[in-house]
Chain A
């Protein structure tokens, strides 16, 4: 929801980033305010996932220019864990499997770490069990999720639900969902989207990274941004996603080339 005079959670300006000497992000500007849902769309290789990982602090990427302010703080100075504790959450496109660690053990460790950072009460295993089971209902998850190893042997849909469960537990200010819709059938997509909708409210914000319109049928964005070659080349409302669905991405490139040609002329 767009709220007038809502505080800015994320402010990205002129962000450039490289991996192994290859520049992927070539100057990104983005402002996200409290209560808003932004969708970032674009073809494979346009830099969407890189942007998500740079925001979360992945060490493989080198930030070569620009700034990221998160609630007024310089995010680039913080290691990944401090970004998470400050309230930034990345739902992974490919959640990692950790055989040998029970999901409940991992979830409680993450929850208590973030709680401690926020000066809030940590939960013992029994208290946490009640708490997490309540949250699992949001995502229609079976109780045996808790006893299984983190993401091990989970279906694609189960992994994504587990990501959103973590989001529900950690209560981030800003959630970045990196292609959360990929690998989901329509029922799982609805469950995940419904879970996200119930977690979002006027005091947090969400960035959805996606290829397709279909996720946006269930999580309606306030803004849609199109990324190409490491830049946001177009921004519009939710109707832009529908236009992309019918027209593809080529017309944006054509427009851009025309514009570039005009500049050169």
Chain B
């Protein structure tokens, strides 16, 4: 991509921003103004940037898609197949815009809703969290999302409240050649417990851009399970930043599954800001054809007795390209940190590609850290084992491919979602020409 196209691209986006009305809250206007300032001084990343060296997003710069407009014509039956049995609270956003009629909010024990509504009732809480974790200083996509910030899912789990059923935040894309700026904010107050399913889905095969931000703040002893599902159109571009802040003895469990998009990039930053915080970060990308799925994670230990465990897997077929960059930082005060990271990758064709880069940066001496990466094909001994039980070679390969991914999916605590995903991976496994 030539440098010359960048200003044009960002300029087009900024023009559409200027038409937006100001919010009544001055801090929010200020946040947006700062973000817009950052956009105007930055460039789109290229492969010359270390953090983007494997991911060429130049096709994106040819598509200065307009911000999407609300489309009220979607009916519940159009999206029912995406619903999950266990869910009692569901927020639905269509092309980035909140849809009240498609959403269901039943639980009075905690606060859940769309950002503009909650700005009037929970302004001070939102002010102290919104935009505080996903920093846009060096990230043009975060800056853009913040500049265009309007709708967004907000979940506030009050102190010592446990929400038994998962909360489903469903972002549905329907329009072609538009950009959405979804936003999601989860605030877990001390001792709370919540399961969030963040789900990006498409109803067609359109080309569009999703530029999304999720911020999660867990106070002392709070627990959150965060299941993130990216099943966008295979023509779409998905750019996502998720920032998580963990206080004393809080516990964050993340499972992210990437199945869709032409090009997807997921940045996950988890900061263990106080003692004894714990996180488990698992990921799976299953891609084929010309898809590119890039996952960048950073788990940052800054206080003692923290724990982090990470397993990331990629399955790439055809000419697909998977990227995983997992950084673990253990800062000088983070003594007795226990951290492990594993990156396992399965290439199903000779033209599929994976770039994996586990990184450990350890500045404390009393720590237990391990990491490892493998890139391979299906194991011939495993195939033989299954064939010796009567399975054809193709069935054996399919089962092993499915199993490779299902190991991550099996950790999802929501049965209906797990079944949907197992079926999706099984279908994808069996549709390829192994």
Contacts and interface: CB of A to CB of B under 8 A. Distances in A.
Nearest to B384: A58
Interface string B359-383: 0000000000000000000011110
Interface string A105-145: 01001100110010000000000000000000000000000
B381 A96 contact: yes
Main secondary structure of the interface of B (DSSP, over half): helix
Given A98-B382, A113-B395, A79 B387 contact: yes
Contact of B410 (A95, A98, A100, A166): A100
Given A85-B390, A100-B410, A117-B390, 13 more contacts: A60-B380, A79-B387, A80-B384, A81-B387, A84-B389, A95-B385, A98-B385, A99-B403, A106-B386, A109-B391, A113-B389, A113-B395, A170-B389
Given A98-B400, A101-B399, A113-B395, A166 B389 contact: yes
26 contacts: A57-B387, A57-B388, A58-B384, A80-B387, A80-B388, A81-B387, A81-B388, A81-B391, A81-B392, A83-B388, A84-B388, A92-B385, A96-B379, A98-B382, A98-B400, A99-B403, A100-B402, A100-B404, A100-B406, A101-B402, A101-B403, A101-B406, A109-B399, A110-B389, A113-B392, A149-B403
A154 to B, nearest CB: 14
A40 interface: no
A114 B381 CA distance: 20
B405 interface: yes
B18 to A, nearest CB: 50
Contacts of B395: 109, 113
Interface residues of A, number: 29
A90 B403 contact: no
A37 to B, nearest CB: 21
3 closest A-B pairs (Cβ-Cβ)?
A: A100-B403, A100-B406, A100-B407
A106 B391 CA distance: 10
Contacts of B396: 81
A110 B385 contact: no
B77 to A, nearest CB: 30
A59 interface: yes
Given A98-B400, A100-B403, A100-B407, A113 B391 contact: yes
B390 A114 contact: yes
A117 B391 CA distance: 11
Contacts of B381: 96
A110 B391 contact: yes
B51 interface: no
Contacts of A79: 387, 393
Contact of B403 (A80, A95, A98): A98
Contact of B385 (A85, A96, A113, A117): A96
B393 A81 contact: yes
Interface in B385-430: 385-393, 395-396, 399-400, 402-407, 409-410
Interface string A69-83: 000000000011101
Nearest to A166: B389
Given A60-B380, A96-B381, A84 B402 contact: no
Contacts of B404: 100
A56 interface: yes
Best-buried of A56, A60, A80, A149 by chain B (most CB within 10 Å):
A80
Contacts of B380: 59-60
Contacts of A80: 384, 387-388
Contacts of A59: 380, 384
Interface string A182-225: 00000000000000000000000000000000000000000000
Nearest to A83: B388
A113 B390 contact: yes
A89 B404 CA distance: 26
B371 to A, nearest CB: 19
Interface in B303-343: none
Contact of B390 (A81, A96, A101, A149): A81
Residue in B403, B404, B406 whose Cβ sees the most chain A Cβ within 10 Å: B403
A54 to B, nearest CB: 12
B382 A96 contact: yes
Interface string A237-259: 00000000000000000000000
A96 B379 CA distance: 10
B93 to A, nearest CB: 32
Interface in B224-255: none
A160 B389 CA distance: 15
Nearest to A98: B403
B402 to A, nearest CB: 7
A113 B393 CA distance: 12
Nearest to A60: B380
Contacts of A92: 385, 388
A181 B393 CA distance: 29
A177 to B, nearest CB: 13
Contacts of B409: 100
Contacts of B384: 56, 58-59, 80
A90 B390 contact: no
Give the most central of B386, B396, B409: most A CB within 10 Å.
B386
B390 A100 contact: no
A168 to B, nearest CB: 13
B405 to A, nearest CB: 7
A166 B387 CA distance: 13
Contacts of A81: 387-388, 390-393, 396
B406 A90 contact: no
A170 B385 contact: no
Most chain A CB within 10 A, of B389, B399, B409, B410, is at B389
A84 B406 contact: no
